[in-house]
Structure 1
Amino acid sequence: MNIALNTETNLAILANLAAILTAVIAVWAYGQYRWERWRKRVRLENYLRDERGIGHGEGHTILDLVAHLGMSEAEIADAAFRSKVIRRRVTVDSSGRPDRLVLVHETGDLDEDFPVRPGRARF
């Protein structure tokens, strides 16, 4: 009977340790997932902010961003929809139908979004 009690106690201890370890691994995995999503959003925001004034007057298409950032279309769309500074715009073709989705970095500050360049008007 002493051996059976000892085995039951050991199994109970192992079960408790397994439950604790499972919870720790789940929290770690969720943290990694959230950090990865945050990192991709910040990467997209930084790229759009840095490329804002360089020849992309209407913004960047998702296909352009896939090529430059090496992220999938779903990752870029997810990051863009979660961002507070990335605006989504739709361009239209010659018949007035939606053509493509364009992403633009905007902070909401007029001076930062449209900087005044020497010798040029703002708009």
Structure 2
Amino acid sequence: MTRTMKDLVADANTRVETISPDEANTMAAGGGLILDVREPGELETVGSIAGALNVPRGILETRADSSLDTAEPGLVDRRGNAPILVLCAAGGRAALAADTLRDMGYDAKVIQGGIAGWKSAGLPVEE
């Protein structure tokens, strides 16, 4: 049976926790890492969250694997130490990314609504 991206996202959402933007903001203030999996151009046009780490979804595994030379210290140093709070534009890529990170041993949660939800909650965005 062929599956669509919508099917894959729905499946991932059964395994990952979703939190509100306000909860994510509080967790980030307490040491959690906001991981933005959007492409760099999206950050330029839509804005970004101060202090968030940007690792596009397409290269996430190469940055989250501490055994690789391409590992991102800001991410791998938090495995087992702090939650990873994942967002994208609306939530689909974040769900896939959080599910992958969960498989890799991270405590990953999806920020509900992505950057759009963050903005709707009135939380700050750098333009």
Relative to the length of structure 2, the TM-score reads 0.25
Structure with max Cα Rg? 1
Which structure has the higher relative contact order (CA within 8 Å, separation 6+)?
2
